[in-house]
Amino acid sequence: MHVFSSNRKKAAFTLIELLAVLAIIGIVATIGIASFKGQRDKATNTAAEADMQAIRSAIVGTQNASASYLNDMQHLPGFTPVFLRTHNLLSRTNVVVLTCSDSGSKSFRVYDDLAAEELTSCASFFAYTNFNAQTERGWNGPYVRNVKPVLVLGQPKADFIFPKPTDKRFAADKSFYERRFFPAGYEQELSDAEGSGTRFFSYGIPGELAMGDPWGNPYVIQIPPAEVVEALYPASADEDEYSATRFKYARIVSAGPDGVLDTPCFVNPVPDYSEELFNASGSKEKYRMLLLAGRTIDDNGHPCVKARGDDIVLFISREDVYEE
Q: How far apart are the first and last CA of the chain?
A: 97
Q: Are strands 220-222 and 94-100 parallel, antiparallel or unpaired?
A: unpaired
Q: How far apart are CA 221 and CA 229, in angstroms?
A: 17
Q: How far apart are CA 203 and CA 100, in angstroms?
A: 30
Identify the pLDDT of residue 273. 43
Q: Is residue 315 pLDDT above 80, yes or no?
A: yes
pLDDT band at residue 245 under the 50/70/90 scheme? confident
Contact 271, 242 (CB under 8 A): no
Q: How far apart are CA 38 and CA 44, in angstroms?
A: 10
pLDDT band at residue 134 under the 50/70/90 scheme? confident
Contact 259, 304 (CB under 8 A): no
pLDDT band at residue 252 under the 50/70/90 scheme? very high
Residue 222 DSSP class: E
Mean pLDDT to the nearest integer, 173-191: 71
24: left (phi over 0), alpha (psi -120 to 50) or beta: alpha
Cα torsion 176, 180, 181, 186 to 10°: value is 140
Contact 277, 307 (CB under 8 A): yes
Cα-only R_g, the chain: 27
The residue extents of the domains of the chain are 40-315
Q: Is residue 125 pLDDT above 70, yes or no?
A: no
Q: How far apart are CA 233 and CA 165, in angstroms?
A: 34
Please, which residues have CB within 8 angstroms of residue 172's CB and are 6 or more apart in sequence?
none
